[in-house]
Amino acid sequence: MNATLDGDVVRAAGDARQRFHDARGYGRASGPDVTLARVEAAHLLYRGDIDSVSGMDFRAFFRDSVAGESGFAARFLVYADLRERGFYLAPARAGWPGSADGRDAGADNTDDDSDGRHDDADILVFERGEKPGGPVAHRVRVVGEREELAAASLGGRTLAVVDEESEVSYFACTADGGFDGRTEYDLPDDLDADLLDDRVVCWSPPVDLYESAFYGQPISGRDDADVDALQLSLVEAADLAARGAVALDADAVIERGRAVEGERFDRRLSVYRELRDRGVVPKTGYKFGADFRTYDAVETVTDLPHSERLVRVVQPDHRFHPRELALDVRLAGGVRKRMVFALAGDDSNDYLTVERLTP
């Protein structure tokens, strides 16, 4: 069967509507014919279901499409991979199944953006067993591994990253940190403490400050030590100073934090405070390359649960490099934690959970 290129779509007549659209969920019906997006037509050529598009075989049509549509090669690879996994798909595109119609002026998100994306997605994946137009399982955003991605645009999308060797990795992005803070404790008043370089030492602290509230790290953990002291990080100390628990000027601690860390300190402190306010315990995530690891519910440090999440604090306009995203999410998965990005803004923080996914 031969099909015809018509602007940015491909039209097929004869029994194409029955064979490709009705039976296998390609394209959109146009009266007796079927209209295919380029990615759909390329897939049918690739499978040998159609022989040519306006005289072009797969190789020629693929070249023509790569030249004509930005990101086509990656989109084709993801389309083929998801079809192989047994899903019905549609390009996310005004008027295609599952997307609002560009002609419906009353609907939200009716227009495709300048990259041809509709509603920040490239491909809609329908729930297993559902035909095009049914419930959507994944709104897939396709990116090459070299493209940067605005963190704020990813909530509710499934990211398909095509690496330089054309393998596809999937990530589910949820606009929620998923925290369920249930840690309770009382804080002391005005403890004696020294601000020393880039940390704080708190002298002869009550046991519960570490053991229940899980602030700091004892310097006196050694059997042979003669000293009773708790070391606090600067975020911990700034938080405790603001709550009146240590006798230090909170602003002086914050100034020291900015001196050693720049404005990143303010963002980290903002997230730290919010998590503490929500009953979550953040501790350093250094060993996992993150800002914090977090515990929803600490009863005692002696009987510490597994920390559930790693948190990386970023700016609200942060753009991910897909390679860094792969690194963070893979590491978190390897230590049975969820990876959460905190988009720390001036007035409030947003959270984005990213997980690896096998569709």
Residues that bind its own copies (rule: CB under 8 A) add up to a total of 64
Token reading at 319: 């753009």
How, if at all, do strands 338-344 and 309-314 pair? parallel
Query: Of 15, 182, 330, 348, which lies in the binding site for its own copies, with binding defined by CB under 8 A?
Result: 330
Per CB under 8 A, the segment of 13-21, 111-119, 128-136, 318-326 that binds its own copies is 318-326
Residue from 86, 103, 108, 164 touching its own copies (CB under 8 A): that is 164
**Catalytic residue chosen out of the listed positions 79, 215, 272, 295:** 295
Q: Which of 94, 161, 275, 298 binds its own copies (CB under 8 A)?
A: 161
- Residue 115 φ then ψ, to 5°: -90, 5
Q: Which of 1, 13, 66, 357 lies at the binding interface for its own copies (CB under 8 A)? A: 66
138 is catalytic: no
Does 347 participate in binding its own copies (rule CB under 8 A)?
no
Q: Cα dist. 135→129, 186, 260 in Å?
A: 10, 48, 50
With vertex at residue 212, the alpha carbon angle to CA 208 and CA 215, rounded to the nearest 5 degrees, is: 80
Closest to its own copies by CB, 2 vs 110, is 2
Cβ atoms of residues 296 and 180 within 8 Å = yes
Of the candidates 306, 318, 321, 351, the residue annotated as catalytic is 306
Nearer to its own copies, 107 or 252 (CB): 252
Q: Residue from 6, 15, 167, 317 that binds its own copies (CB under 8 A)?
A: 167
CB 42 within 8 A of CB 65: yes
CB-CB contact of 83 with 20 (8 Å)? no
Interaction mask 74-113, its own copies, x per CB under 8 A:
------x---x-----------------------------
Least distance in Å: CB of 108 to its own copies? 32
182 near its own copies (CB under 8 A): no
- Residue among 313, 301, 305 at smallest CA distance from 350: 313
Spatial distance between the Cα atoms of 107 and 227, rounded to a whole number of angstroms = 68
Q: Is the dihedral of CA 100, 103, 106, 108 positive or negative?
A: positive
Give the strands of the sheet with 168-174, arranged side by side: 89-91, 123-126, 136-144, 158-162, 168-174, 349-357, 338-344, 309-314, 292-295, 281-284
CB 357 within 8 A of CB 81: no
To the query of whether residue 131 is one of the catalytic residues in this protein, the response is no
Residues in contact with 299: Cβ distance below 8 Å, sequence separation at least 6, in sequence order: 212
Q: Is 327 left (phi over 0), alpha (psi -120 to 50) or beta?
A: alpha
Asked if 336 interacts with its own copies (CB under 8 A), we say no
Closest of 1, 64, 16, 2 to residue 38, by C-alpha: 64
118 belongs to the catalytic site: no
Distance in Å, CB of 49 to its own copies, minimum: 8
Candidates 21, 43, 283, 337; catalytic one: 337
Q: Which stretch binds its own copies (CB under 8 A): 69-77, 124-132, 270-278, 344-352?
A: 69-77
99 vs 212, which CB is nearer to its own copies?
A: 212
Judged by CB under 8 A, the residue of 79, 96, 288, 341 near its own copies is 288
Residues marked as catalytic: 295, 306, 337
Contact positions toward its own copies, by CB under 8 A?
Answer: 45-48, 58-59, 62-63, 66, 71-73, 80, 84, 144-146, 161, 163-167, 169, 194, 196-199, 201, 203, 216-217, 219, 222, 224-227, 229, 231, 233-236, 260-261, 283-284, 286-290, 322-324, 326-328, 330-331, 334-335
